[in-house]
Amino acid sequence: MTGIPFLEGKIMMVDKPLHWTSFDVVKKLRYVIKKHYGIKKIKVGHAGTLDPLATGLLVICTGKKTKSIDQFLTEDKTYIGRIKLGATTPSFDLETNVDKIYPVPSIDDKMISDLEKSFQGSLMQVPPIFSAKKINGKRAYNLARENKKVELEAKPISISKLNLTAKKNDEIHFECTCSKGTYIRSLARDIGYAVNSGAHLIDLRRTSSGDFHIKNAKTLDEWIDIIKTS
């Protein structure tokens, strides 16, 4: 059993599929590894959650490499995606329906430049109520789905790079490099407020995490094939 590479420890860069939770990916890979090698248990974990509606780089660690997860969690991550102006949703993305409509501002170069400056550096950010943050031992998203009042405190974050590009008349495309604990959904909400409108995230993809990059990732199916032929 000591010769099993996934038991000894493996870092797997997975391109997470749309609609899968990060834990879904962990659970699937753990199941395939256990079944292929005929073992009862193996440690498998991820180094940074991706929302179900996000795709992109998910760093998975197995066996002894799970000891590196805490280190990987603290590293900066880069995302690309799209923000839609003129409407908000309770989840700040497409998980929930639009709840309010706002006038769409005229997007010009100065607005884009001002937004880039405003949202770089050290900031205080309120997480989404549809998040895994705990309130009195319960996940915020469970309380939110029960229509219970949820109030989350602002947390310190850091955005080291933010490139914004106006697309269409109500969309902003972005690339953002940020610290652990940053919610891109909250960034979308805050950008909407900053231009006296509303906004929500309509597309999100993680392209890097620390030294790991999406260009070196494999799909979930590709990793399953690798496990089954190892």
| Tally of domains in the chain | 2
Same domain, 67 and 81: no
Same domain, 122 and 19: no
Same domain, 129 and 103: yes
Same domain, 96 and 39: no
Residue 3: the pLDDT is 52
Mean pLDDT of 198-205: 98
Q: What is the CA radius of gyration of the chain?
A: 19
Structural domain of 47 = 5-73+213-228
Residue 2: the pLDDT is 44
Same domain, 153 and 98: yes
Same domain, 96 and 172: yes
What are the tens digits of pLDDT across the range 164-192?
999 888 999 999 999 999 999 999 999 99
Q: Which helix (H) or strand (E) holds 33?
A: helix 22-37
Same domain, 53 and 123: no
Identify the CATH number of the domain in which residue 66 sits.
Answer: 3.30.2350.10
Residues in CB range of 61: below 8 A, 6 or more apart? 9, 10, 11, 12, 44, 45, 46, 47, 68, 69, 72
Same domain, 95 and 64: no
pTM above 0.85, yes or no: yes
Same domain, 221 and 204: no
What are the tens digits of pLDDT across the range 121-145?
999 999 988 777 777 777 777 777 7
Same domain, 147 and 177: yes
Query: Percentage of the chain surpassing pLDDT 90?
Result: 83
Same domain, 121 and 179: yes
Q: Which of 43-57, 76-90, 119-133 has the lowest mean pLDDT?
A: 119-133
Catalytic residue IDs: 51
Does residue 1 have a pLDDT over 50?
no
Contact between 18 and 53 under an 8 Å Cβ cutoff? The reply is yes
Same domain, 88 and 187: yes
Average pLDDT over the chain, rounded to an integer: 93
